[in-house]
Structure 1
Amino acid sequence: MATANTLERIFSVDYKRMIQPIVSVCTWGKGLENLRRPRGVTIDISTGDIYVADCENNCVKVFDCSGKIMLKFGDEEGEGKMNHPDGLAICRDRILISQRNDCILNYQVNGKFISIIGEPGKGESEFDYPRGLTIDESNGEVYICDSHNHRIQILSKELTYKTQFGQENLKYPLDVKLTKQFIYILDLSNLCLHLYNYNLILQRSIISRGIGLQLNCPYFFYIDNSNNILITDYYSNSLSVFNSQFDLIYKISIGYPTGITVDNRGRVIVVCDWGEHYLNIF
């Protein structure tokens, strides 16, 4: 049975305390301690290190839990060269990175390039603007939002094609997360969350209880250990928190948020400010 990456590893979070970040680092620029249009963010649960897709600097940057820069990686040339990295997913000692030139990069978490997965196209293991992705820790399978092909592709632990689903319902999927019961998919054009079971059958699309009406331009999302759903909303300059019944319970003002995750200390990590280029820790 599938297991979300961090569902059972974090504390209960009081989102009402998220008025000001306790750590806010980075500014616009090309230097080691700068970000330009940051997108995805994820946590290495074994170390607490924070990985950020530094989109327009064409690299991934790694910060420790206090926000101190530790590492920058992304080959300057060759197969490992990054082109606007977007989604990130870590499982054990590897990190997978989606990027604009229609492939997935496979790196070690220490920044060593391993391999490239996929190529442009519409077939198996082919992509058209892959976005969010996640790894099922129970079996190593990888779920990838193949956004402009309007589908989710599933790769095996060996990173070979397994199957695909969602073409009949999805329109520009942005991000995907796993719980024990469902596969959650954030859909940009439909402005909703789709819930699929592990037979890859659509169970419901959550639009009638506010999500579709209260989101403007969602980007990434996260599901905490209480099944609360946190969705960054870029154009609304906010982070929306929905409970497990999909009721909006809190909305937090944040400038142009993109990536979001929660560490195993219960701190909310928001790579945000598409315009301001900050990494915020709440």
Structure 2
Amino acid sequence: MADYNAPVIAPVDPIETQINELFDRMVYRLNQRRAALLNRYHELRDEKAARRSERIKKFEELVGMKAETEGRLQMNDLRELQERMIADIELKLAEVNTHQPETHIVFRNQSEPLEQLIAQLGEVLEEEVPIIPNYQAMREVVAVGKKRRAPGKLYSPRAVAIDYNTNKIFVTEGAQILSRGLFSTHKRISIFTERGDYLDSFTHKDMQGPHGIAIHEDNVYVTDTLVHAVFLFKMETSFPLIAKLGTGGSRIGEFNSPQNLTVSTNGDVYVTDFYNNRIQILNSSLQPIRNLTKKPIQNPRDIKLTADEVYVLCEDNPCIQVLSHAGERLRSLASRSMPNDVANPHFFCLDVAKNIIISDWCYNGKVKIFNKEGIFIHAILVEHQKKVPARGLALTKDLSLVVIFPDSDYYLRIFSCL
């Protein structure tokens, strides 16, 4: 019987690593070209539609002028002039109504008809080519949110989520342990643009220690580790509270330090129930459905879903447990005992190739990337600050990586490979 807790260890072949790097660069460039073609395709389609609309408008104007001129025809000296005007209008109408020549575009040093180019682009766009960031080329491009309580600053930030409809960045600001068991809380969610500009923030009187966050359609889900609950806010101007579930406990619908959460395509909410060693599944209105597994999961911290699998970041070694949607353990990834592995993982995310990006709470200032087999690929560093822990992270639509570094000069940092 397979031992699902056994570390996945494989020798690293430098030639294979180089080949993989070259392949990643090739795919990245291909996707950049694909994105450029897509933009050009939409520009050409809009231009063609605008030309047709302009012809129709001109035709209607000429028809109106002709009708108006015919109505003014009188048996006088101006009749001959008016008839000539009608003849000119009819000539222009014929020109407008004549089939326009095909638009040709210079593409690949060849002149191709627009319709043919659109058909070719359509074929390219239908291809399922994974868009993968070039992690080796990622550099810090934005650093915002110094430690302050004022709007636009960040105090004890925890997790980050992206609203992919607007590209807005949502950051939870939670509880900070001071001394003798005392807490300092800020209990709010701050919102930034994809460039790090501050937009807004919201909170609720029942929140004490907001931690994890997930966005699905117009719903914002937030876990609270101090009141042991999950909150549901509506994505509206004042972010009204729609539902709340949970108190401290171990029964279904109760939590013991819920950490992070994610939402499936059908709206089910998966919550990591840390000290209860389980994953609770709720519906979109926060009504409990079931536990993901019957067997305990060692202190789960973060969770992500793919079409056919569930990835859980937990205290086990390896720290990534991959399960089926029925809760069956499939494999374990990302060892915590080998060189270049994570020491104290807290959050993670996946790209489309199922590469695993993990934030390390150990004081090394690194975000570490593993491939889908759990083999270390690359580490992203905070330049000039190599001893800061990392927490929440997420990939934006344009493949930038947003990371929370709670003990650095700037708490919110954005890395890009563009």
Q: What TM-score, normalized by structure 2, do the two folds share? A: 0.61
**Equivalences for 1:132-281 in 2 at 5 Å?**
132-137=260-265, 139-166=266-293, 168-190=295-317, 192-206=319-333, 210-213=335-338, 214-235=341-362, 236-254=364-382, 255-281=388-414
Match of residue 211 from structure 2:
86
Matched residue type, 2:137: R
Listed one character per residue, the Cα deviations across residues 122-158 of structure 1 (whole Å, up to 9, x for unaligned) are 0011000000100002x11110000010000001233
Task: Give the conservation status (yes or no) of the 8 Å contact 1:192–1:212.
Answer: no
Matched residue type, 1:141: D
Which structure 1 residue ranges, 5 or more long, are not aligned?
1-7
Pair 1:86–1:52, CA change in 2 (3 A): same
Alpha-carbon distance between aligned partners in 2 of 1:264 and 1:41, rounded to the nearest angstrom: 14
Task: Give the conservation status (yes or no) of the 8 Å contact 2:244–2:286.
Answer: no
Counting matched residue pairs gives 267
Listed one character per residue, the Cα deviations across residues 196-247 of structure 1 (whole Å, up to 9, x for unaligned) are 101111112225xx45532111110000011110000011321110011211
Pair 1:154–1:112, CA change in 2 (3 A): same
Alpha-carbon distance between aligned partners in 2 of 1:32 and 1:113, rounded to the nearest angstrom: 21
Task: Give the conservation status (yes or no) of the 8 Å contact 1:191–1:218.
Answer: no
Match of residue 230 from structure 2:
104
Match of residue 193 from structure 2:
64
Q: CA deviation at 1:278?
A: 1.3
Match for 1:45 among 146, 161, 164?
A: 164
Structure with more relative contact order (C-alpha pairs < 8 Å, separation 6 or more) = 1
Which structure 2 residue ranges, 5 or more long, are not aligned?
1-127, 175-184, 383-387
Q: What TM-score, normalized by structure 1, do the two folds share? A: 0.89
- Which structure dedicates a bigger proportion of its chain to helix? 2
**Which stretch of structure 1 is more off in the superposition, 232-241 or 272-281?**
272-281
Q: Is the radius of gyration larger for structure 1 or structure 2? A: 2
**Which stretch of structure 1 is more off in the superposition, 246-255 or 184-193?**
184-193
**Which stretch of structure 1 is more off in the superposition, 122-131 or 231-240?**
231-240
For residue 198 of structure 1, give the secondary structure of its aligned residue in structure 2: coil
Pair 1:277–1:109, CA change in 2 (3 A): farther
Pair 1:217–1:63, CA change in 2 (3 A): same
| Aligned-residue CA RMSD (Å) | 1.9
Match of residue 136 from structure 2:
16
Among the aligned pairs, what percent are the same residue? Answer: 27
Q: CA deviation at 1:277?
A: 5.0
For residue 16 of structure 1, give the secondary structure of its aligned residue in structure 2: helix
Match for 1:26 among 136, 145, 150?
A: 145
Match of residue 4 from structure 2:
none
Task: Give the conservation status (yes or no) of the 8 Å contact 1:37–1:275.
Answer: no
